[in-house]
A and B are shown apart, each in its own frame.
Chain A
Amino acid sequence: DAGVTQSPTHLIKTRGQQVTLRCSPKSGHDTVSWYQQALGQGPQFIFQYYEEEERQRGNFPDRFSGHQFPNYSSELNVNALLLGDSALYLCASSLNRNQGGYTFGSGTRLTVV
């Protein structure tokens, strides 16, 4: 049973560019959440998708957007990249009706130069 799969593993982008990160949830899970983790800090919640809609959003600008597909997989898009967007981006999947059961992927390390 595959866990959460994220791609790519590492990515280097130039300031001002756009990036798309991808996440496949754990089998049986229907909800996907995205987190940003800066170096030396705890993860911070970006947003959560359920039934192909953004259900909850953290304190992030609208340069950060996402999408959930009918197969429950998800994308995180970041436009107009800033140096400060350099971080580890983590995807977590869960089952909507099961409070608290999150499975995290290994993350995508984004470096903006």
Chain B
Amino acid sequence: SQQGEEDPQALSIQEGENATMNCSYKTSINNLQWYRQNSGRGLVHLILIRSNEREKHSGRLRVTLDTSKKSSSLLITASRAADTASYFCATDDTGRRALTFGSGTRLQVQP
């Protein structure tokens, strides 16, 4: 079963704008990860944030984690057409050696 929901399900923006995606989850976690998927192919790992971290940056990516609200957000700054893809959050749940994925956000960046 899916861990939680991602919001929005779809997002369309212009190149250069920022894109924000949100993820909610239900259980206790070791870490939360964000992945990108192009055209139904393999998943590319973007960033991992541990349960004791609140914010993490990697290039144009900024991730926040609020364990009290069981939520995370992914911000992509200065988006490019090449950022067009589906983005998934996945939780590495405490006591379970598996990732539980959200339903994904489809991002379309218009050139």
Of the listed stretches B56-64, B66-74, B77-85, B97-105, name the one at the interface; the rest are far from the partner chain: B97-105
Q: Contacts A42-B88, A48-B98; is A100 near B30 (CB within 8 Å)?
A: yes
A42 touches B2 (CB 8 A): yes
- For chain B, the bracket of interface size reads 20 to 34
B97 touches A56 (CB 8 A): yes
- For chain A, the bracket of interface size reads 20 to 34
- How far is it, in angstroms, between the C-alpha of A55 and the C-alpha of B97 when the chains are bound? 8
Q: Contacts A39-B40, A42-B102; is A59 near B31 (CB within 8 Å)?
A: no
Of the listed stretches A11-19, A66-74, A77-85, A101-109, name the one at the interface; the rest are far from the partner chain: A101-109
A100 touches B42 (CB 8 A): no
Q: In this assembly, does B21 line the interface, its C-beta being within 8 Å of a C-beta of chain A?
A: no
Which one of B2, B30, B33, B42 lies within 8 Å of A105 (CB-CB)? B42
Shortest CB distance A52–B (Å): 16
Q: Which of chain A's residues have a CB closer than 8 A to the CB of B41? A: 88, 106-107
Which one of A39, A43, A100 lies within 8 Å of B43 (CB-CB)? A43
A48 touches B43 (CB 8 A): no
B97 touches A43 (CB 8 A): no
B99 touches A102 (CB 8 A): yes
Q: Which of chain B's residues have a CB closer than 8 A to the CB of A39? A: 40
Minimum CB distance partner of A39 in chain B: B40
B residues apposed to A, CB below 8 Å? 1-2, 30-31, 33, 35, 40-45, 48, 50, 88, 90, 92, 96-104
A residues apposed to B, CB below 8 Å? 4, 31, 33, 35, 37, 39, 41-45, 48, 55-56, 58-59, 88, 90, 92, 99-107, 109
Q: Show 15 residue pairs from A and B whose CB-CB distance is below 8 angstroms, ordered by the A residue.
A: A31-B97, A33-B98, A42-B101, A42-B102, A45-B99, A55-B97, A99-B92, A100-B48, A101-B48, A102-B33, A102-B45, A102-B99, A103-B45, A105-B42, A107-B41
